[in-house]
Structure 1
Amino acid sequence: MVLPEGFVVPPWYLLVPAVVILGGVVALLWAIDPPVTDRSVLAFAPWMMFGAALHVLYKLDAFPPAIEPLFSAPMVYVVTAIVAGIVWIVAVFLHIGGLQPTIARFVGVAGTAFFTVFAMVAILQSIDAGTFDPFWPVIAVVVTGIVTTIAWIALSLWFTDVAATTGATGVLVVFAHTLDGVTTAIGYDVLAVGEDVPLSLLILEAGESLPTAEYVGAGWLFVLVKVVLGLVILGLFREYVEEQPRQARTLLALVAAVGLGPAVHNVLLFIVT
């Protein structure tokens, strides 16, 4: 199996309009060519988290059956990109019209609001159902903060040019993939949660076959791979960021989203189930 479990292709009458709308949003963004800086990338972090909240609500059967496939994987990424893209376009025009001091602030505040509302819906449902439990998610976030700090300090000391060039975008990439690794490890080793992604499962099984598995579990290897992967990607992007910062930071934002989306999905799912 190559595709993750739970991979759903929605009906054509939902898929086609969503793809067409996404194409229109991307085309308009291409035409207006908004700036992409460290602040821009950080402003989109809540939107990555918003997509995760939508998918958790999908797993909780919170959406009407008619539109439920829109929030399955991978369709939820398309829906999130559409909403975030439209907000980005609105932010650009508000900034041009002098109604907003910066584009990034509007995008970030709107994303935070969207994520907060939908995450709270999931949390309130779990409280009503008696399944609310934030212990391991909090542990995961704390451990991720510590590991990210250590990794970034190491990068800054040994590859100072990479850390200086990628900046806050680089920190987000490392944090996102570290959180994905830590939450996956906790889910696999502590909470007995199965892994849907075949490649991730392969790494976890490799960790399980090591002599250390008896003492520290299998997930540590996955965490290590994710942290190293994030750092290596930053190293490979250093020259690209220097030469074409806008395109490079856009791609790094996508790299961060690939880690932060599943990671926040894990955190929320652990909290509510």
Structure 2
Amino acid sequence: MVLPSGFTFPVAYLAVLGAAALAVGYALSRADPVVDATTILAWGPWMAVGSTLYVASQLGLVGGVLAPAVTAPTVYLTTFVAAGVVWLATLRTPYPRRVFAGVGFLVLSVPISLALRYGATHGGLTLAWPLAGGVAACAVTAVVWVALDQLAPDATRVAGAAGALVVFGHTLDAATTAVGIDILGFHEQTPLSDIVIQAGAAVVPGYGGWLFLLVKTLLAAGIVVLLAEYAREEPREGFLLYGLVAAVGLGPGAHNFLLFVVTTP
């Protein structure tokens, strides 16, 4: 993931949001919702909400009392609390997962719209290369999933849409990172990721992102397979782990994609 600016830690907000997150988590455990591959897929848009809100924060589009709630890392607690409350509410509807995903997309449209408006009025939008990264992520995901279905059909059958989301999230993160660093002039600030990228650049000078994409893709595919047996035996815990792993990839990937569209060095 590309991190153009540092994290901030507003302690008061962290305390309040931490308490709210615990309360929401407790309420969800009492509600005992179904957690399966479809549930994790429904969380997909919410996984991108926090990272796109962070982009809006980086651009200075959120001010006043709300500003600390959308900086890192508090933005992820904010998103979890909001998503958890919505999830609890949608459990009362006939189609909770559909409604939950739909509300997620509506919420996601807000920071995206704000950021796009900012980019359009501050130098224009850079669409071609970020879109190329997104297309590459879709293509790699399709190839990897077909290969996994041939090599480990039991794993893909158990993981289902949750496993596909894991692969897509991490390939999106890796592909957009490669585009941002190798082509658009951004810099990687995560030390371990930078080591991998520099190793790739040592093989192909000026283009180190290919190795990062390869490593992330293989790791994501491996995790899908490794978690399959756990998800079969303990579906709730197993699919929650799939969701966590997917969020760790999809969130940064969505952040990179939107940031690169609206700001170019």
Q: Which TM class, normalised by the smaller chain length?
A: over 0.9
What is the percent sequence identity of the aligned residues?
38
1:206 CA drift (Å): 1.3
Map 1:75-86; keep pairs closer than 5 Å.
Answer: 75-86=74-85
C-alpha distance in 2 between matches for 1:43 and 1:165: 17
C-alpha distance in 2 between matches for 1:76 and 1:196: 19
Q: 1:258 aligns with which of 248, 262, 265?
A: 248
Map 1:163-242; keep pairs closer than 5 Å.
Answer: 163-210=156-203, 212-213=204-205, 217-242=207-232
Matched, 1:59 2:52: no
Map 1:9-20; keep pairs closer than 5 Å.
Answer: 9-10=9-10, 12-20=11-19
C-alpha distance in 2 between matches for 1:4 and 1:134: 19
1:130 CA drift (Å): 2.8
C-alpha distance in 2 between matches for 1:4 and 1:143: 23
C-alpha distance in 1 between matches for 2:4 and 2:74: 13
Question: Contact (CA 8 Å) 1:133, 1:272: kept in 2 or not?
Answer: yes
Deviations 1:184-231 (A, max 9, x none): 111110011011211111111111122x335xx110000001100101
1:238 CA drift (Å): 1.2
Q: 1:244 aligns with which of 234, 239, 246?
A: 234
Question: Contact (CA 8 Å) 1:148, 1:174: kept in 2 or not?
Answer: yes
Corresponding residue SS for 2:121: helix
Corresponding residue SS for 1:84: helix
1:34 CA drift (Å): 0.5
| TM-score, normalised with respect to structure 1 | 0.92
The equivalent of 1:153 in structure 2 is 146
1:169 CA drift (Å): 0.6
1:232 CA drift (Å): 0.8
1:124 CA drift (Å): 1.2
* RMSD (CA atoms): 1.5
Question: Contact (CA 8 Å) 1:42, 1:172: kept in 2 or not?
Answer: yes
1:101 CA drift (Å): 2.0
| TM-score, normalised with respect to structure 2 | 0.95
The equivalent of 1:88 in structure 2 is 87
Question: Contact (CA 8 Å) 1:51, 1:261: kept in 2 or not?
Answer: yes
Question: Contact (CA 8 Å) 2:174, 2:212: kept in 1 or not?
Answer: yes
Question: Contact (CA 8 Å) 1:183, 1:266: kept in 2 or not?
Answer: yes
C-alpha distance in 2 between matches for 1:91 and 1:231: 32
C-alpha distance in 2 between matches for 1:196 and 1:73: 15
The one-letter amino acid paired with 1:147 is V
C-alpha distance in 1 between matches for 2:13 and 2:76: 14
The one-letter amino acid paired with 1:194 is H
1:69 CA drift (Å): 2.3
Question: Contact (CA 8 Å) 1:4, 1:197: kept in 2 or not?
Answer: no
Question: Contact (CA 8 Å) 2:166, 2:245: kept in 1 or not?
Answer: yes
Deviations 1:92-120 (A, max 9, x none): 1x2xxxxx222101110000000012211
Corresponding residue SS for 1:67: helix
Deviations 1:62-89 (A, max 9, x none): 1114432221222111111010011001
Matched, 1:141 2:134: yes
The equivalent of 2:123 in structure 1 is 130
Unmatched 5+ residue regions in structure 1? 95-99
